[in-house]
Amino acid sequence: MKLLAILLPLALSAFGAARPVQEFSTSAGVVKITPIRHAAMLIQAGGKAIYVDPAQGNFDGLPQADLILITDIHGDHLAPNVIAKLKKSDTTIIAPAAVAKTVTEAKAIGNGETTTWENWKIEAIPMYNLKRGPEPGQLYHDKGRGNGYVLTYGGKHFYISGDTENIPEMRALKNIDVAFVCMNLPYTMTPEEAAEAVKAFHPKIVYPYHSRGSNTEAFKKALAGTGIDVRLLNWYY
Is residue 223 one of the residues assigned to a domain?
Answer: yes
Number of independent structural domains in the chain: 1
Looking at residue 105, what is its pLDDT?
A: 96
Residues 6+ apart with CB under 8 A from 30: 23, 24, 45
CA distances, 178 to each of 98, 144, 201 (Å): 27, 24, 11
Is residue 1 one of the residues assigned to a domain?
Answer: no
Q: Which domain covers residue 92, as residue numbers?
A: 20-230
pLDDT in tens, the chain (237 residues): 333 333 434 444 444 447 899 999 999 999 999 999 999 999 999 999 999 999 999 999 999 999 999 999 999 999 999 999 999 999 999 999 999 999 999 999 999 999 999 999 999 999 999 999 999 999 999 999 999 999 999 999 999 999 999 999 999 999 999 999 999 999 999 999 999 999 999 999 999 999 999 999 999 999 999 999 999 999 997
Looking at residue 82, what is its pLDDT?
A: 97
* CATH assignment of the domain containing 38: 3.60.15.10
Looking at residue 1, what is its pLDDT?
A: 39
Is residue 88 one of the residues assigned to a domain?
Answer: yes
Looking at residue 18, what is its pLDDT?
A: 75
Alpha carbons 157 and 136: distance in angstroms, whole number: 37
Q: What is the CA radius of gyration of the chain?
A: 17
Is residue 105 one of the residues assigned to a domain?
Answer: yes
Residue 137: CB atoms within 10 Å? 6
Looking at residue 2, what is its pLDDT?
A: 39
Is residue 100 one of the residues assigned to a domain?
Answer: yes
CA distances, 188 to each of 14, 118, 195, 214 (Å): 31, 32, 13, 11
Alpha carbons 185 and 201: distance in angstroms, whole number: 22
